[in-house]
Amino acid sequence: MIPYGESRSYLDIACAVGNPKAVRAIGQANKRNALPILIPCHRVIGKNRSLTGYSGNETDKKAVLLDIENIAYKGK
């Protein structure tokens, strides 16, 4: 779980589960998240702090949620 007000990159999570090459798998798991309110996948961003891959290309929604939590990202 990523705490409120914090973010992690897809690479951070892949490394945390012991497989740094699993970045795409992490993205696919995020995409299939059926409970985004309970499991806040918007807190997962690109390693360069960019808004990547949120429910396809709907990064505008990700930006709104990150703004609410005052989480920095590229382009803010």
Active site residues: 41
Pairwise CA distance, residues 28 & 22, whole Å: 10
* CA of residue 30 relative to chain centroid, distance: 7
Please report which helix (H) or strand (E) contains residue 62, including its range. Answer: helix 59-68
